[in-house]
Amino acid sequence: MSAAQLELLTARDTCAPDPAPDLAEADRIIVSVSGGKDSQVALDETVRQADDAGVRDRIVVLHIDLGRTPRGHTVEWPGTVELARRQAAHYGLPFEVRRSLKWPSLVHRIRARGRFPNFLNRFCTAEMKRGVSGRFITEQVAALRVTDRPARVVLVMGMRAAESRARARKTAVEVDRRASSGRRTVTLWYPVLRWSTAEVWQRIHDSGVPYHWAYDQGMSRLSCSLCVLGSIPDLTCAARLRPELAREYADLEIEMGQPFRRELPMAEIIRRAGAA
């Protein structure tokens, strides 16, 4: 790791279980907000630490919109973009929405590929989110006009270790070598990585910031409304709450000859939702 990359870590925090970047050294702090509970709390924690460093004005909130399906349904939960905008406004922060330049929605990409994403091939994240985020970082770096050194960017995401074994292996701060270049150093920060679900909800209630309505309807996690990596209870709940979107996915299964999940086709999820 180069000296420029190390600049974003404080000496004290590098030895701590959960280091934090030195926000005072960052030129831009981008908080990726999905509308879900974890990114909501990651935003709140970022604002608190940025206020301590006197750099709230360096934060921008980014929401990546996954578009509308061929039948006009939002891939994400209805109201997600509006909620993310309200969350940013609560802190007086600029809010930006970005979408794929190539695909009108994730469903259009799935249809073109001829299969749904899976755990080993998460092109939904790689193409529809990471690529869009990288383009936004490029925009921000260009606007900064830093010329005497690489611009220092902190990208904040609401990942939590409790949600997967892969996330549990992460450290709270890491340099994104794929996104970094001679013009910029991109540091990834997961400020709620070790937080429990109870701690996340406590912070939400303490903050007074609105959270997504789907949680009160039974969802435990929010991403795409019907996420291929979602739990069976969440998928069943989502199909009950969004039956038209579920039917579009089921029809897409038939069209492509490929199931939503190998062991769990959308037709079965719809059946379980009806039984529930």
End-to-end CA distance of the chain: 52
Is residue 80 classed exposed, middle or buried when 0-12, 13-18 and 19+ CB atoms within 10 A define those classes? buried
> 72 — phi, psi (to 5°)?
90, 10
**Cα–Cα distance between 108 and 246 in angstroms, integer?**
15
- Say which residue the tokens 């939590």 belong to: 160
Residue of 77, 91, 100 whose CA lies nearest to 31? 91
**Cα–Cα distance between 66 and 179 in angstroms, integer?**
21
DSSP 65-117: --BB-TTS-BSBPTTHHHHHHHHHHHTT--EEEE--SS-SBHHHHHHHHTS--
Q: Which helix (H) or strand (E) holds 256?
A: helix 243-256
As given in the structure block, the two tokens for residue 209 are: 């910031």
Along the 276 residues of the chain, how does pLDDT read in single tens digits? 444 444 444 333 434 457 899 999 999 999 999 999 999 999 999 999 999 999 999 999 999 999 999 999 999 999 999 999 999 999 999 999 999 999 999 999 999 999 999 888 888 888 889 999 999 999 999 999 999 999 999 999 999 988 777 777 888 999 999 999 999 999 999 999 999 999 999 999 999 999 999 999 999 999 899 999 999 999 999 999 999 999 999 999 999 999 999 999 999 999 999 987
What's the pLDDT score for residue 12?
30
Q: Write down all domains in the chain, each with its CATH number in brackets.
A: 3-197 (3.40.50.620), 226-275 (no CATH)
